[in-house]
Amino acid sequence: MTWPPLRPELAGIEPYGAPQLPADRAPVQLNVNENPYGPSAECVADIARAVAEVAPTLNRYPDREFVALREALAAYLSRDGFRGSQARTSTTEISAEMVWAANGSNEVMLQLLQAFGGPGRTAVSFAPTYSMYPEYARDTATTWVMGRREEDFAIDLDHARAVVAEHRPSVVLLPSPNNPTGTALPPGTVTALCEAVGDDGIVVVDEAYGEFRRAGVASALELLPAHRNLVVTRTMSKAFAGAGLRLGYLAAHPAICDAIRVVRLPYHLSAVTQAAALAALRHAPELLGKVDELRVERDRTVAWLRAQGLEAADSDANFVLFGRFDDRHAVWQGLLDRGVLIRETGPDGWLRVSVGTAEEMAAFQDALLHVMKEI
């Protein structure tokens, strides 16, 4: 018996996380899909004021139901959540009872697995995909089944339906756009999988990068009125430029939000988090203001990589998967030696670069050209 007396399936496992390096070692940080633009002085002052207002009451627990924040998130989703979608009708209005939030969408999805997964139940996704999904399953003792994606990283509906029919999952995790490939899901795929899963389970469309999708690609929010088993998760970490806030949320049928209340820890969203997120939401237009610029920079990066003779996956997110390299670690290390930190993730031979400022992308391109000459 080893000590400490860990669950045997956790023995020897490294904690998940991209390398975090200080800015003096890696001045160009393009590894965790953050928004490179920080808040304005005005927004910073508003957040600081909001936190100062709750500070005198920190001897009390915060609002356990975070009503004001749920209302603000619902208003935000109803107003801006459909950006880039074809149509928005009154039936796509999101109310506060349809919204739930936690410390990052990672926590939202863990809570979903705590409520809807568990021993004897199965969760499914399609590889390559976000590497935290199997961890949610492991931590909640949910059986994990990984289907596969096509060569172009799309999901083949026949294959997906067959996986659902065979394993009868209680949770299907569908990121759109997918991490690390950037692939968005057509609404038809979401609809078909909601129908295939039926009342036996929930279909979670993880739209962490939803705001970056290309024009004409619809959000799964539009499908909520038609499917009571559909959950759409979002985060303030990416387009919203609030990774440090730790605020993720979802929209779903009110009964699903209610069910999560059974497994959430009491007061899981601190008063400071609630105040800061509410203040940030008041500055939504500013914080989301660089999304269009980042999409242009992303498309430019894809075109540039292809012009160098490399492969680059089509992306609806704020990152690009590119390759293929015989020794991707050497490329990753070569870039880091030139101060550019990207992510060694995805299928063998591929690397992922987050989209930064134009200057950061120029530094990445310059460093990659040097590295490619050396390998």
Minimum Å gap between C-beta 31 and ligand PMP is 10
Are the C-beta atoms of residues 363 and 339 closer than 8 Å to each other? yes
| 104 touching ligand PMP, by CB under 6 A | yes
Minimum Å gap between C-beta 101 and ligand PMP is 10
Residue tagged 């209340």 (tokens): 261
Position closest to ligand PMP via CB = 104
Q: How many CB atoms lie within 10 A of CB 358?
A: 13
Spatial separation of the C-alpha atoms in residues 69 and 88, rounded to whole Å: 23
Residue 218 tokens, joined: 């619809």
Spatial separation of the C-alpha atoms in residues 357 and 29, rounded to whole Å: 10
Minimum Å gap between C-beta 369 and ligand PMP is 28
| CA 341 to chain centroid | 20
Minimum Å gap between C-beta 272 and ligand PMP is 17
| Distance from the first to the final alpha carbon of the chain | 46
Residue 247 tokens, joined: 């605020």
Spatial separation of the C-alpha atoms in residues 84 and 219, rounded to whole Å: 8
Minimum Å gap between C-beta 103 and ligand PMP is 8
Binding mask 206-225 for ligand PMP (x = CB under 6 A): x-x-----------------
Stretch of residues binding ligand PMP (CB under 6 A), selected from 37-45, 101-109, 160-168, 289-297 = 101-109
* Secondary-structure percent of the chain, ordered helix, strand, coil, rounded to 5: 45, 15, 40
| 203 touching ligand PMP, by CB under 6 A | no
Stretch of residues binding ligand PMP (CB under 6 A), selected from 3-11, 99-107, 210-218, 327-335 = 99-107
| 276 touching ligand PMP, by CB under 6 A | no
* CB nearer ligand PMP, residue 101 or residue 371: 101
| CA 371 to chain centroid | 30
Binding mask 226-265 for ligand PMP (x = CB under 6 A): ---------x-x-----x----x-----------------
Residue 349 tokens, joined: 């031979």
Minimum Å gap between C-beta 208 and ligand PMP is 4
| 147 touching ligand PMP, by CB under 6 A | no
